[in-house]
């Protein structure tokens, strides 16, 4: 019989606490009964068989950088931690694929394949810390997803341990393949509720021959958002198109020693790549100058620094403001409108607003905030947040562009999807996990809404 | 109560015969009991409700250009023909999306969005005749999928009528969205076995500013296939990378009056696009010349003609040879090896071989053939075909890169996927279609294999 390696299980209070929550808002704080670190697919199978036999819920955990509470512990659960399964099993430069264990850190994979002139395209801002398994379970987006697509577009095949411990392989090593239903795609983004990802075959892309970065400063966010549409109308596809508002710039200046805010009240940070990077950047500069943008052609070192700053624009906050944030995505034409409405919501509720956006994809991360200690304003914060979700939906948007539903957004899913669609998903879930042990209470509202 | 428009139903022998089969090999010829042409989602709902109540199987049909028998009638079935639901409902140039009914012809959509500088990327060689609904149901590939991805990568949202007549909406109008399980992706490629696609929201891409076409002739197919890998090693991503062998070239010359075969015994037809088209084509020319390719920089008119010829390289055969063909995809590094093995298989079985390939994706369409009337050789043809599938799988490939399993390839699916994976899919199918009325006997082997 398979035995877990020594040191695989802990019930130490510090370990339980460390694995109790991710970076998302905590709705219902619970400590797991134990944490198990798997080192192999066999370990995972063993854990799942035991959990299945005992009826114990299991919450998978990568790096715990999720921001929707997907990895939050639930009552009486075991946390199955995949971070030690961190081997890159294969890099095949001619097949342009890599096979990895789920605990591999995104940037480690990218560093390893860069030697071959290749990249793993999906690059969440958390790429230096988050795991490929977590990226897959959330269908993570990232900066260069504007051009290269989200995680799903780079995952060819998966090894998955099902709730009863069965190990299956889905998908194909080839770029294309349509044999059977797309189980691979179904597991991507399922937030650990359908199975445990224990291996992945991912597609690699060519590292671009050149990068060109354009930083365009605008007097206000609406003007910057209009710039996004204007670049689209010029039919140029940037690799990266990020928007930062004045509050975000000021905060970065404070934390990182930059001086962005003095240049404007909104920044469009655009990167083109490939052999046409310079030509495309030239067109973009012309378009944005025409809109009144203060354009800067960043030199290579500054470009890296700017993109790096953008990656720090979320999650690194060290002050103790109260804040709530989301990741609504809206159709691109609604970007300007939505930002206006967000500001209006913030004003009416008397709270601050800060926005960063993967603007090329219409995916916004607005944060409503109030000053340190201003606990009386928390209800206003939550009311603003709720309203921002409804407005995003009314504009044809979705409640979550890339962070997942997790635990925190379950209450909103029924505003976006019909009861028939929710019920269909519950029945799918029951096919994979009839005992409902995998990440219970996440991703889907459990019971039908009443009334 | 909703009533079907006049002229919606036919039991005329000619209509039944016309809708009995697609372009795939016929395993079990059946006439439907009737053909119904839907003109609206309500029509489809009504048909499905009636079929559900009466327990009558339903086979969806777009243009019937499928080559796996997906649209073949099955015993006692109704054919639900979607070709009259052919309206483009919306083109939104700023959101970069279109909403269409399922019967819209691929090239009609492309013509309509081209006015806005946009394109619908997936372009099966059948794009002038096949429907978007059929493309979605098969997850069709195409020439420029090498760069832009297959149909799944361009489908954002679907309207689907379920087996019991319920109309649901899946997905989102935004480029990104991770709310709930990826039902949209699950319907894509499900070959009419999970629901009827009655509407689709598709993502549009920018029409490239420039196209450059390279035609490289080689002395043999292996040399051309080596060229595919060499272009990859140069880390240049073509939009189109097609391979045609000598037999295909000769046949095109005969049918289309071209003179390809005189230039070589294999042709790599490569198109680069966008602002870097010329630079990238230059690199490709250098790489392929180095391998002994006889390179031609095609002028614009000739480029169109060459790509057009390629689109005719399948399905337009007018002679009466016996032939069997497939669409195995292999990992790119195995292209040369697989083509050598295919030739060896053909030689050993004493049959001819003809190959075209979406080579950039490792997706081959080998055809084994024997001369007109040579019926005695049919068993040898089938033996060669069967062997080619096993060899493709042994090299890490899949039985179908883009055409789907349909009726014809059901017998091979168990060679690629484990019984656990097949069983999981059967249980998913049962969630959507518990009575098993939607396209029975297609896409999945019905009963577990015995022994
Ligand atoms: C500073 C910062 C920046 C961020 N930027 C982005 C961004 O740009 N884009 C973006 O999409 N997200 C971003 N995120 C959110 C987060 O990093 C992503 O959701 C990431 O994919 C989570 O990976 P993880 O390894 O931390 O997973 P975890 O947080 O540990 O888990 C996330 C979910 O996946 C499940 N899970 C984890 N591993 C497995 C597995 N092997 N099998 C099955 N289920 C599993 C968990 O149960 C949970 O539901 C950011 C977060 C931070 C803190
Ligand atoms: C000359 C030629 C070239 C081709 N080139 C390519 C190519 O390059 N790439 C490629 O992928 N394929 C190619 N094909 C195959 C074929 O054109 C594709 O499979 C195409 O997607 C089928 O579309 P259709 O409208 O003809 O669908 P049909 O053949 O009518 O149906 C295909 C399948 O989809 C189902 N279906 C159709 N409409 C719906 C709907 N609305 N809802 C649910 N299910 C539905 C049917 O039941 C069937 O299972 C080619 C075929 C020919 C004859």
**List of residues 6+ apart from B440 with CB closer than 8 A:** B57, B74, B77, B446
Closest Cβ–Cβ partner in B94, B189, B431 for A178: B189
> At B166, is the pLDDT very low, low, confident or very high (cuts 50, 70, 90)?
very high
> A402 vs B330: CB contact, 8 Å cut-off?
no
pTM: 0.97
Question: Which residues on chain B are in Cβ contact (under 8 Å) with A170?
Answer: 421
What is the CB < 6 Å shell around ligand 2?
B 22-23, 59-67, 70-71, 82, 102, 124-126, 130-131, 133-135, 137-138, 140-142, 191-192, 196-197, 314-315, 402-403, 439, 442
Which CATH architecture is the domain A88-206 placed in?
2-Layer Sandwich (3.30)
Chain A residues near residue B422 by CB distance under 8 angstroms: 180
Contacts with B344 (C-beta within 8 Å, 6 or more apart), sequence order: none
Has residue B304 got a pLDDT over 90? no
pLDDT of residue B310: 85
Ligand nearest to the CA of A133: 1
User: Has residue A176 got a pLDDT over 50?
Assistant: yes
Nearest atom of ligand 1 to the alpha carbon of A439? 47
For a mutational test of ligand 1's pocket, the pick from A24, A41, A124, A308, i.e. the residue with the most ligand atoms closer than 8 A to its C-beta, is A124
CA-based nearest distance A327→chain B, Å: 10
- Residue B220, min C-alpha distance to chain A (Å): 21
List chain A domain ranges: 9-81, 88-206, 211-311, 323-412
Q: How far apart are CA A63 and CA A132, in angstroms?
A: 10
For chain A, what percent of residues have pLDDT higher than 90?
Answer: 87
User: What is this model's ipTM?
Assistant: 0.96
**With respect to CATH, is domain B323-412 assigned 3.30.70.2740?**
yes
3-state secondary structure chain B: CCCCCCCCEECCHHHHHHCCCCCCCCCCCCCCCEEEECCCHHHHHHHHHHHHHHCCCEEEECCCCCCCCCCCCCCCCEEEECCCCCCEEEEECCCCEEEECCCCEHHHHHHHHHCCCEECCCCCCCCCCCEHHHHHHHCCCCCCHHHHCCHHHHEEEEEEECCCCCEEEEECCCCCCCCCCCHHHHHCCCCCCCCEEEEEEEECEECCCCEEEEEEEECCHHHHHHHHHHHHHCCCCCCEEEEEEHHHHHHHHHHHCCCCHHHCCEEEEEEEECCCHHHHHHHHHHHHHHCCCEEEECCHHHHHHHHHHHHCCCCCCCCCCEEEECECECCHHHHHHHHHHHHHHHHHHCCEEEEEEEHHHCEEEEEEEECCCCHHHHHHHHHHHHHHHHHHHHCCCECECCCCCCCCCHHHHHHHCCHHHHHHHHHHHHHHCCCCCECCCCCCCCCCCCC
Architecture of domain B9-81: 2-Layer Sandwich (3.30)
A65 neighbors A114 (Cβ within 8 angstroms)? no
Please tell me the predicted confidence (pLDDT) of residue A449: 45
Interval B36-65 mean pLDDT? 98
Q: How confident is the model at residue B449 (pLDDT cuts 50, 70, 90)?
A: very low
B237 contacts on A by Cβ (under 8 Å): 205-206
Say yes or no: CB of residue A60 within 6 Å of ligand 1. Answer: yes
- The DSSP bridge partners found for residue A400 are A327
Q: pLDDT at residue A305 above 50?
A: yes
For B406-431, letters b (16+ CB in 10 Å) and e give bbbbbebbeebbeeebbebbbebbeb
pLDDT tens per residue across span A319-346: 556 788 889 999 999 999 999 999 999 9
The dihedral through the CA atoms of A262, A263, A266, A267 has a sign that is: negative
Average pLDDT rounded to a whole number, residues A205-229 = 95
d(CA A36, CA A9): 4
B450 has a pLDDT exceeding 80: no
Question: Looking at the predicted structure, is the pLDDT value of residue A214 above 50?
Answer: yes
DSSP state of A173: S
Residues of A in contact with B405 (CB under 8 A): 178-180
Q: How far is the CA of B397 from the centre of ligand 2 (A)?
A: 22
Q: pLDDT at residue B321 above 90?
A: no
Question: What does the pLDDT read at residue A451?
Answer: 43
What is the least distance, in Å, from the CA of A36 to any CA of chain B?
26
CB A103 within 8 A of CB A84: yes
CA distance A182 to chain B (A): 6
pLDDT of A318 strictly over 90 = no
The span from the CA of A425 to the CA of B179, in Å, is 11
Q: How many CA atoms lie within 13 A of A243 on its CB side?
A: 32
Examine the pLDDT at B317 and tell me if it is beyond 70: no
The per-residue pLDDT for range B339-358, each reduced to its tens digit, is 999 999 999 999 999 999 99
- Ligand 2 atom showing the smallest separation from residue B160 Cα: 42
How far away is chain B from the Cα of A114, in angstroms, using its nearest Cα? 12
- Asked if residue A307 has its Cβ within 6 Å of ligand 1, the reply is no
The partner residue sitting opposite B401, judged by closest CB among A118, A178, A207, is A178
Residue in A93, A150, A235 nearest the CB of B206:
A235
Identify which of B356, B363, B262 has the alpha carbon closest to the alpha carbon of residue B316: B356
| Choice among A175-184, A295-304, B260-269 with the minimum mean pLDDT | A295-304
pLDDT bin (cut points 50, 70, 90) of residue B311 is confident
Give the number of other Cβ atoms within 10 Å of residue A256's Cβ: 15
**Which residue's CA lies nearest to atom 2 of ligand 1?**
A126
Cβ–Cβ below 8 Å for A358 and B176: yes
What mean pLDDT comes out for the span B293-312?
81
Q: What is the pLDDT of residue A344?
A: 97
Domain A211-311 has CATH 3.30.1330.80: no
State mean pLDDT over B74-93: 98
Q: Collapsing DSSP states into helix, strand and coil, what is residue A283?
A: helix
Measured from the Cα of B123, ligand 2's closest atom is 8
Q: Which atom of ligand 2 is nearest to the CA of B62?
A: 30
- Percentage of residues in chain B with pLDDT exceeding 90? 87
Query: Which residue puts its alpha carbon closest to atom 7 of ligand 1?
Result: A124
Q: Is A365 helix (H, G, I), strand (E, B) or coil?
A: strand
- Check residue A448 and give its pLDDT: 56
A36 or B26, higher pLDDT: A36
Same fold, A211-311 and A323-412: yes
- The two structure tokens encoding residue A329: 């995505």
Rama region for B185: left / alpha / beta (φ>0; ψ in -120 to 50; rest): alpha
| CA of residue A138 to ligand 1 center, whole Å | 6
- Tell me, what's the pLDDT at B371? 86
**What's the Rg (C-alpha) of chain B?**
22
Q: Please write the tens of the pLDDT for every residue from A39-48.
A: 999 999 999 9
What share of chain A has pLDDT > 70, as a percent?
96
pLDDT band at A262 (very low <50, low <70, confident <90, very high): very high
What pLDDT, on a 0 to 100 scale, did the predictor assign at position B318? 45
CA distance B187 to A322: 42
Chain-wide mean pLDDT for chain A? 94
Ligand minimally distant from the alpha carbon of residue B440: 2
Which among A172, A176, A237 is the nearest to B141, CB-wise?
A176
By mean pLDDT, which of A253-257, A385-389, B83-87 is the weakest? A253-257
Q: Are A351 and A381 in contact (CB under 8 A)?
A: yes
Residue of the CA atom closest to atom 13 of ligand 2: B124
């Amino acid at each position: 019989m398979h035995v877990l390696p020594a040191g695989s299980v802990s019930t130490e209070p510090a370990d339980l606490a460390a694995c109790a929550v991710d970076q998302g808002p905590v709705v219902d704080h619970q400590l797991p009964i134990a944490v198990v670190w798997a080192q192999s697919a066999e370990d995972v199978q063993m854990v799942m068989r035991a959990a299945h036999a005992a009826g114990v819920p299991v919450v998978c955990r990568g790096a715990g950088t999720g921001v929707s509470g997907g990895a939050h512990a639930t009552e009486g659960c075991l946390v199955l931690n995949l971070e030690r399964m961190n081997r890159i099993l294969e890099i095949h430069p001619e097949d342009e694929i890599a096979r990895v264990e789920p605990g591999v850190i995104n940037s480690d994979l990218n560093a390893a394949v860069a030697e071959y002139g290749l990249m793993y395209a999906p690059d969440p801002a958390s790429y230096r810390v988050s795991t490929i398994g977590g990226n897959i379970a959330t269908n993570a987006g990232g900066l260069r997803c504007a051009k290269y697509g989200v995680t799903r577009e780079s995952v060819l095949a998966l090894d998955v341990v099902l709730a009863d411990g069965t190990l299956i392989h889905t998908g194909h090593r080839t770029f294309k393949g349509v044999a059977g239903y797309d189980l691979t795609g179904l597991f991507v983004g399922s937030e650990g509720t359908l199975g445990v990802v224990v291996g992945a075959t991912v597609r690699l892309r060519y590292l671009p021959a050149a990068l060109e970065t354009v930083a365009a400063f605008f007097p206000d966010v609406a003007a910057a958002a209009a710039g996004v549409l204007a670049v689209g109308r010029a039919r140029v596809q940037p690799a990266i198109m990020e928007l930062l508002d004045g509050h975000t710039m000021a905060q970065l200046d404070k934390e990182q020693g930059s001086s962005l805010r003095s240049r404007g009240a909104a920044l469009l940070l655009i990167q083109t790549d490939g052999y046409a990077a310079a030509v495309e950047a030239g067109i973009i500069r012309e378009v944005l100058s025409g809109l009144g943008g203060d354009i800067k052609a960043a030199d290579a070192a500054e470009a890296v620094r700017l993109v790096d700053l953008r990656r720090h624009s979320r999650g690194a906050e060290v002050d103790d403001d109260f804040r709530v944030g989301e990741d609504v995505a809206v159709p691109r034409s609604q970007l300007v409108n939505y930002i206006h409405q967000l500001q209006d919501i913030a004003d009416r509720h008397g709270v601050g607003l800060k926005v960063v956006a993967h603007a090329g994809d219409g995916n916004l991360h607005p944060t409503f905030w109030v000053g340190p200690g201003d606990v009386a304003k928390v209800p206003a914060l939550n009311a603003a947040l709720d309203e921002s979700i409804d407005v995003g939906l009314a504009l044809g948007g979705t409640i979550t562009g890339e962070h997942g539903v997790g635990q925190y957004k379950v209450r909103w899913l029924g505003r976006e999807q019909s009861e028939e669609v929710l019920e269909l998903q519950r029945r799918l879930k029951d096919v994979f996990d009839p005992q409902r042990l995998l990440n219970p209470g996440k991703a889907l509202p459990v019971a039908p809404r009443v009334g």
